[in-house]
Amino acid sequence: MFKFFKDKIGRWAKKISEGSEVKDLREPEKIVEKKEIPVPMKFNEGMKQFQSDTDKLEDISEEVEEIAKEEPGTRGFFEKVTSRIQKVKISDDDFEIYGEELRMLLLENNVAFEVADKVVAQLEGEIVGKEFLRKEIEAEIRDVLKGIISDILIEPFDIVERIKEKTQDQSKEPFIFLFVGTNGTGKTTTVAKIASFLTKKGFSCVLAAADTFRAASIEQLKYHGKRIDVKVISQDYGADPASVGFDAIQYAKKNFIDCVLIDTAGRMHTSKNLLKEIEKVAKVCKPDLKFFVGESITGNDAVEQVKSFDWAVQIDGIVLTKADIDEKGGTALSLGYVTKKPILFLGTGQEYNKIEVFNKEKFLKELGL
């Protein structure tokens, strides 16, 4: 997962560190001219001379030891050491080039324009004009980027706790989930995966086959229900989806079932009528959580989708499916940024157990940050 982003960010940070303005830390009179360097020089002699030349510098003994372990080769001792203590400053001009490269890199990796702009502008504010030690710049830029991206991703809440809060109450009201999204993003599979996840956590579940539109959708949900041993409430094709959801809630109340998961038909985010229909399901069923199910691989299009569904039903969280076949990873950033809603689950395959509770730290690591 997310391999592309990871490799490229590393290379970009390296490039900016190599290409930026280089300043020599040493005072001018202490700079040892290249011609004065005896080559080849024994390590101990070199060390002594270097230390007397640089006694005002910070402790670099660790680096020197590291260099000493290097194969004796073409690079002179001083060349090796000084290259490690050079300071690098990223100027406005440097950033103009590298910032643009980063923007392109983010866009290529499915990060939406507005999010890429924000990341680049924020990074510019934090690194331009600042001095970095050359050997540390790559790590420092990664850290700054990590902070920026971490702030964009909304911290996910614990759905198990949310369910407990509601279902432990004496009212015995079931906890209701509504799943929405465009066609084929993985809603039905996600309903089954989350029901299976919740069953393992000790909650009883019922599924509502509220996709009464697509051919074979009811049979598909019933097939999943059978395999995970969860009851499915359905009506006929063409029935009102809100009424199917309502039936499932009544069934849950009567049978003391903890959770109702309502599957809905995939619909274009541009269709006002279909968005009105999903609004009605939300009004009638009053879900506790409304999940937008989007594909990790969709990129910029998913941004438009999530905006429409959020506008129609005010989503509470996002499930990103097909993360297993996404090498980029930018969609999570974009959706989180435009909705200010958390990613709660990642779909990572076609089996029921291929669902992960979204973990920000793990995700940042996957991105190589």
Ordered DSSP codes for 76-143: -HHHHHHHHH-EEE--HHHHHHHHHHHHHHHHHTT--HHHHHHHHHHHHHHHTT-EEEHHHHHHHHHH
Cα dihedral 96, 102, 107, 113 in deg (nearest 10): -50
Q: Measured between alpha carbons, how far is 233 from 191 in angstroms, rounded to an integer?
A: 13
- Residue among 146, 214, 231, 253 that touches ligand GTP (CB under 6 A): 214
The one of Mg ion, ligand GTP, none whose footprint includes residue 101, by CB under 5 to 8 A per kind, is none
Three-class DSSP category at 335: helix
- Cβ neighbors of 67 (< 8 A, separation 6 or more) are 77, 80, 81, 84
Cβ-based nearer residue to ligand GTP, 134 or 187? 187
Residue count (the chain): 369
Task: Write down the residue that tokens 């599924």 correspond to.
Answer: 207
- 265 vs 369, which CB is nearer to Mg ion? 265
What is the rounded CA–CA span in Å between residue 205 and residue 82? 65
Shortest gap between Cβ of 322 and ligand GTP (angstroms)? 4
308 forms part of the interface with ligand GTP (CB under 6 A): no
Strands 21-23 and 87-89: antiparallel
Nearest distance from residue 183's CB to ligand GTP, in Å? 4
Whichever of 99 and 294 has its CB closer to Mg ion, that residue is: 294
| Helix, strand, coil content of the chain in percent (nearest 5) | 55, 15, 30
Q: Is 222 in the site for ligand GTP (CB under 6 A)?
A: no
Nearest distance, CB of residue 187 and ligand GTP, angstroms:
4
String marking each residue 250-289 x if it binds ligand GTP according to CB under 6 A: ----------------x-----------------------
CB nearer to ligand GTP: give 150 or 220: 220
Q: Can residue 17 be called a binding residue for ligand GTP (CB under 6 A)?
A: no
- Is residue 184 a contact point for ligand GTP (CB under 6 A)? yes
Contact residue for ligand GTP among 17, 188, 334, 339 (CB under 6 A): 188
Q: Which two tokens stand for residue 250?
A: 């009544």
Nearest-CB residue to ligand GTP? 266
What residue ranges in 128-286 does DSSP mark as E strands? Answer: 131-133, 175-180, 205-210, 231-233, 259-264
**Minimum gap (Å) between residue 342 Cβ and Mg ion:** 23
For the CB of residue 289, give the shortest distance to ligand GTP in the complex, in Å.
17
For Mg ion, the binding residues in 177-216 under the rule CB under 5 A are 187-188
For 151, residues 6+ apart whose C-beta sits below 8 A from its C-beta are: none
Residues 322-341 that bind ligand GTP (CB under 6 A): 322, 324-325
Q: Which is nearer to ligand GTP, 255 or 353 (CB)?
A: 353
Q: Between residues 304 and 324, which has the closer beta carbon with respect to ligand GTP?
A: 324
Q: List residues near ligand GTP by CB under 6 A.
A: 181, 183-189, 211, 214, 217, 266, 321-322, 324-325, 347-350, 354
Q: List residues near Mg ion by CB under 5 A.
A: 187-188
